[in-house]
Amino acid sequence: MRFILIGIFFLSTSAQAATSSAWKALDTAARTRCEQEIVRLASKAKVGTIAGRVSGIGAMEDRDRFYGLILAGKTAGFASQWLCLYDKRARTAVVSEIEKP
C-alpha cells in the first residue's frame, strides 16, 4: 500500500510541474531572446504579438529542448511574421522570416 501511495504522490507532483507561471516565464524569456534576434537581423523590425506557439520540439532523445514562437509585427512599415526556435537549455534563439504567399 505504501508503494501505491508513493507512486500516486510522484505522478501528481510531476503532472503539475508545468504551472501557468512557468509557461509565462518561458514565454517571456523566449520572446525577449527572439525579439533581440529579429532586431539584429532587421533593425527596423517591430514585433507586435505572438501569433502561435509550439512546444515539444527536439530530437528523439531530447523532445522538449526547443520552444517555437510565431511572432507578428512590421518591418519598415510592412506586415511581417517570424518563426523563432528558442533553445531552452542554451537560452538562445534562431529566427527566420516567414514569407507570405
Q: What is the pTM of this model?
A: 0.76
Q: How confident is the model at residue 101 (pLDDT cuts 50, 70, 90)?
A: low
Residue among 75, 80, 76, 67 nearest 34 (CA)? 67
Q: pLDDT digit string (tens) for 34-46?
A: 999 999 999 999 9
The pLDDT of residue 9: 36
Q: State in Å, rounded, how far the first CA of the chain is from the last one.
A: 61
